Structure 1
Amino acid sequence: MDNRLAALERRVAALESAHPQRKKVLPDEADPADDPVLRAVPTTTADVLAARTADVLASDWAARASTLAALGNPVRLTLLREILHGRTTVNALSEVDGLGTTGQIYHHLRHLTAEDWLHTPTRGVFAVPPNKRAALLAILAALET
């Protein structure tokens, strides 16, 4: 084990000496207790959940009304579901019964995009942002009877 560790240390030293212009990112003896930024970061799942819950409870809920209202339309919910299932273009979405014309589909997509339920990673392609997927599914799961 000591031989392997020594060999690894030699390799790291060789790599670091090959690029002396690069700054060292972390000190040799980093201590999170000495770093005010790291000290402020919750360290357990319970700490993270408690901090997030406190933030949500203290926030202005009325400011979120339009974001929630965007989900209050059956066509928009169907669009989100279809996009999550891989129909990510207006052309593909227009093949789904009940979504209306391409103009109506664009209208709903613009509304969902304005409220950050959708984004366009590339031109003409719609996607639910990763940070919204769990929230969307949690809202829908909470409504199950």
Structure 2
Amino acid sequence: MSDSDRLDALERRVAELEKRLSEPAARQTPTPDPDVFWALEGLLARVGDPGAALITGHVTLPDGRTARWQQGATTGELLGADWTEQVTALAALAHPARIRLLQHVLHGPATAADLTRIEGMGTSGQVYHHLRQLVAAGWLQTVGGGRYEVPVARVVPLLTTILGVRR
């Protein structure tokens, strides 16, 4: 086979590969394992391109409360939204003391006095400062007796936020 023939054959193969890659089916990534990615498979069956994001969960907390929750949005809704509206909620999570407070309160309602007893938490003034931030952002709410708890509607979003930032 001459160099010219080999070059022609190579050009035909490259053109065929380019054609396959430009076809819609070739651009779709198959789900690696449908048994593992069952939630993704359900989303794919319900939402077309350009897609959507979904967070869902069922959690029974150590204090016995149950959170069953789901929220989704289309890609267009998410990319077109003003993300700055979520800054307060995200900023409230961006402090080690507040994360520790939330993790503690997920085990059951606690008073500020209870929370000041957490190793290394700081003074009652510091704890109240963090509690105010968390309440203002909706991550905590007050319940009877000066106790704080994570609202049931925020349990799954909180846990999925933590899960989502794992590496």
TM, length-normalised to structure 1: 0.62
1:143 equivalenced with 2:162 (yes/no): no
Q: Which piece of structure 1 moves more, 111-120 or 81-90?
A: 81-90
Counterpart for residue 128 of structure 2: 106
SS of residue in 1 equivalent to 2:113: helix
Greater share of residues in strand: 2
Matches within 5 A, 1:1-145: 46=46, 52-54=72-74, 55-86=77-108, 88-145=110-167
Comparing 80-89 with 68-77, greater Cα deviation is found at 80-89
Q: Following the alignment from structure 1 to structure 2, what is the Cα–Cα distance between the partners of residues 94 and 83?
A: 12
Aligned residue number for residue 25 of structure 1 = none
Task: Supply the RMSD in Å over aligned alpha carbons.
Answer: 2.4
Structure 1, gaps ≥5 residues long: 1-43
Alpha-carbon distance in structure 2 between the residues aligned to 1:86 and 1:119: 12
Residue 56 of structure 1: how far off its partner (Å): 3.7
Unaligned stretches of 5+ residues in structure 2: 1-41, 55-70
Question: 1:92 is aligned with what amino acid?
Answer: D
The share of aligned pairs that are identical, in percent, is 35
User: How far apart are the structure 1 equivalents of 2:157 and 2:73?
Assistant: 14
CA shift, 1:53, in A, is: 1.2
